[in-house]
A and B are shown apart, each in its own frame.
Chain A
Amino acid sequence: MLFNSLHFVWFFIVVYAIYRALPHRPQNWLLLVASYYFYAAWDWRFLGLLVASTIVDYSCARALDRQTDPVWRKRLLWFSITFNLTLLGFFKYFNFFADNLHLIFGALGWQVDFFTLRVLLPIGISFYTFVTMSYVIDVYRREIRPTRDLLDFAVFVAYFPHLVAGPILRATMLLPQIGRPRRITGEQLRDGAWLIAWGYFLKVFVADNVAPLANAVFDPETPATGVNVLLGVYAFAFQIYGDFAGYSNIARGTSKLMGIELIENFRFPYFVRTPQEFWRHWHISLSTWLRDYLYIPLGGSRGTPARTRRNLMVTMLLGGLWHGAAWTFVLWGAYQGALLGLYRTAGGRPAVRQWLLGNTPVARLLGWFVMFHLTCYGWLIFRASSAAQIGSLTTSLLTAFAPSSVDFTGLLVPLALYVTPLLLVHAGEAWFNDVLIVRRTPIGVRYSVYAATLYLIVLFGNFGGADFIYFQF
């Protein structure tokens, strides 16, 4: 069930009407049933995995809380982690590793018939396994007490706004909101409505309209000149942002309407000047998860600079692999790791501090420009279908830029039309450092933005019902 489908609209209207009429405990039952229905609407067969993950991690956390023996506590923790990673590894990476081993053995001249399966990827598995793992790790670290209430825990795992594409929520944020009665304020209703409208705008006006522009440039059958590759990469940068931030906004908005706050997942990520800042503004729930459960346990920045760079690289490589079972994602992770490492090395140099990180308007503009293009090159790696395509597109950018060949009517003009309204709002958000700045502007500006958003969605939105990109992760 897509957020941009009428099925979801009907689903939410019905659920919300009943939700508002119920007291707290039945509300939680309703949320659980609705969330399982939401998940089963994709493929009911995978509902068992979600339920199994819920029961195993609930039980592990309860046992961890009772257990005082450190050896047994560690065993319980590893049991939970192994269970979750096995689910993730089997459903997401089995064929990837089998195919690659087959290639390696083939290259060595060994003919080995590997067992491959037509494994379907259960939607949202990368998200909910990370949610339950973080819960068990937090309980193991004694940072939180586990909930005794299986219903509350099941709602925490399956809560439909964040179930299939995040944000990856922490128990500290969501469980208390599920466990106590909720009071929905007028402010939450207004913020929620705006977040939903803005989320749909990002999805159907920005992402789904620029997608064909990016697809055309990334089509291996139709090679493009460097300038058009650049425009295509820009298009993909806004497609993936619009798609994912759109989903996150709709998730936050629907949740706000129910009186439950979710974490901000994006903060105008294309208006930053360093790789570190980028990861504090892009897919925030994943980057903080990786920081807290991978980077810091690896040693974080506590060791030598070389060790820190290694930790960054390992974290980003696994972060890349989390996005999908393909070498291009691993390469993208390596690229992000290298950028973060490079920033740690070069960020303190006087020239960099003066020209890219300084407070002058020129340094701000230059810093933003350089970081935006470094990010875009990352998206080229991310979107490419193979390492060979990364090579050919990079070659086009570097050796066949040909500015005169720019595709004005097919690429530049539509890209500018679909992206400019987003950039205007983003600029306001970045200027005031507030993702809900539109809600706090004077009434005339606010209503103008609301009306323009609605008109742009209705008149120019792409209502083809395209999937959200992050569902595949």
Chain B
Amino acid sequence: MGRPQSPDRGARHRVRHVLFFAAIAAAQFGIFEIALRTWGSSEAAPAFQGLFEGDPRIGYRLKPRASVRFATAEFETDIAINGAGVRDDEEIGPKQPDEKRIVVLGDSLVLSVQVPLAQTFGELLEKRLNADTAAGRYRVINAGVQGYGPVEEALFFESLADTVQPDLVLVTVFVGNDAEEAFQSFSKLGGPGSGGMVAARDTLRTHLRRLVRRSMVLQVVRLRVNMVLGRLGFSLTPPEPPLQSYAASPAPRIREGLAVARRSIEHIMATASRVNARTAVVLMPARFQVDDADYGRLRTAVANAGGELIRDAATERFEEALAPVNVPRLDLLPALRATLPGPDVFFQTNVHLTPHGHQVVADAIARFIRDHHLLTARD
């Protein structure tokens, strides 16, 4: 018969066990991290992270002259960044007298790491424009950067405008999360109302994001936590960001985010105007606005949680927010929906465009440019 353990001894025993378990869990964390980095593929992979570098004003940007091969289960792509910090195999170089340049600003939907450069809608648009005319030469510059919102795009274009000397700037707004992202990045834009409190929160959030982005294990854990919070969410917290823009009664931050997005676009227009370029806005829908099955699943999930998902609310909210701005707008939704039934325009395991989707978008933008005479000489 052993003597009964004293409470202190029992507590020390438990602490030792917890520490021992924590040590084993930490060692396994390292093993899983190495395994995922070696065999897994995600945006936390060192290869992909090597595409970015810090930027004191914007937060981060594409690293000039970086070059990686990015592979996942669905695609394998070579990505090259030129000296100007945009996705291209070639340097932009000096502008030729007969050359017209179009800069496409946006986020990952423009950068399009899922497809080779030649299959991106930017490159396809360039081919279509050059095929349409005998005179002159069109150059489309893909200035999309993963994770950018309207504020970052405005700041990035400020730094790029003089180098690329565009004739037309296409601001690609992802209606699914650009209001959220604009709200979160408000402080970067400067001006009245962008207080220190928001900036401090933003810095902490940015640090946390960076930490999570550096670890593949943490990235997956983040997705799981988001999923759990999202499922719990509707009764305890507002719907998770991508859906809030579509909620029947969105949080006040969506309205504020839309106002920041409008300010950012006006900022881009002012910069464009300085370099004698015109500006147009392209509204990019979320996958579920086109994919019925995806929509059904999300609508049910939101309804089960007591909310209401309005399929095109985010597009309509951006249309309404940008109405006072005198800028031509193209909503891609009708063109993408017109492809149904047909090949997928979005990938199944991510929310980006398939090669077919890029073709549809390139066709729609080429028509839009032609119909609105966006590249003809101004009076």
A contact residues vs B (CB 8 Å cutoff): 6, 443-444, 447-448, 450-452, 454-455, 458-459, 463
Contacts and interface: CB of A to CB of B under 8 A. Distances in A.
Contacts of A463: 224, 227
Given A447-B24, A458-B221, 17 more contacts: A6-B228, A6-B232, A443-B20, A444-B20, A444-B24, A447-B20, A447-B21, A450-B21, A451-B25, A451-B28, A454-B25, A455-B28, A455-B29, A458-B224, A459-B32, A459-B36, A463-B224
A448 B20 contact: no
Interface in B17-49: 17, 20-21, 24-25, 28-29, 32, 36
B231 interface: yes
A6 B221 CA distance: 17
Query: Most A CB atoms within 10 A — which of B21, B36, B228?
Result: B21
B220 A459 contact: yes
Contacts of B17: 443
B304 to A, nearest CB: 10
5 tightest Cβ-Cβ pairs between the two chains A and B: A451-B25, A447-B24, A447-B21, A451-B28, A459-B220
B217 A459 contact: yes
Overall SS of chain A's interface:
helix
B358 to A, nearest CB: 26
B307 to A, nearest CB: 16
Contact of B21 (A451, A455, A458): A451
A383 to B, nearest CB: 25
Contacts of B231: 6
B31 to A, nearest CB: 9
A452 B25 CA distance: 8
Contacts of B28: 448, 451-452, 455
Interface residues of B, number: 17
Query: Most B CB atoms within 10 A — which of A447, A452, A459?
Result: A459
19 contacts: A6-B232, A443-B20, A444-B20, A444-B24, A447-B21, A447-B24, A448-B24, A448-B28, A451-B21, A451-B24, A452-B28, A455-B28, A455-B29, A455-B32, A458-B221, A459-B32, A459-B36, A459-B221, A463-B227
Nearest to A456: B32
A450 B17 CA distance: 13
Contacts of A444: 20, 24
Contacts of A448: 24, 28
A205 B221 CA distance: 15
Interface of B: 17, 20-21, 24-25, 28-29, 32, 36, 217, 220-221, 224, 227-228, 231-232
Contacts of B20: 443-444, 447
Nearest to B225: A458
A447 B26 CA distance: 12
Contacts of A443: 17, 20
A452 B217 CA distance: 13
Contacts of A455: 25, 28-29, 32, 217
A122 to B, nearest CB: 22
A52 B355 CA distance: 59
A459 B231 CA distance: 18
A454 B22 CA distance: 13
Nearest to B32: A455
A271 B339 CA distance: 52
Contacts of A459: 32, 36, 217, 220-221
Nearest to A457: B224
Contacts of B21: 447, 450-451
Contacts of B220: 458-459
Contacts of B227: 463
Nearest to A444: B24
Contacts of A450: 21
Nearest to A414: B73
B212 to A, nearest CB: 14
A459 B24 CA distance: 17
B217 to A, nearest CB: 7
Contacts of A6: 228, 231-232
A242 to B, nearest CB: 20
Contacts of B36: 459
B214 to A, nearest CB: 16
Contacts of A451: 21, 24-25, 28
B11 to A, nearest CB: 15
B71 to A, nearest CB: 12
A452 B28 CA distance: 7
B95 to A, nearest CB: 46
B347 to A, nearest CB: 17
A450 B227 CA distance: 23
Nearest to B40: A459
A444 B24 CA distance: 8
Nearest to A460: B220
Contacts of A447: 20-21, 24
A448 B28 CA distance: 8
Nearest to A458: B224
B30 to A, nearest CB: 11
Nearest to B73: A409
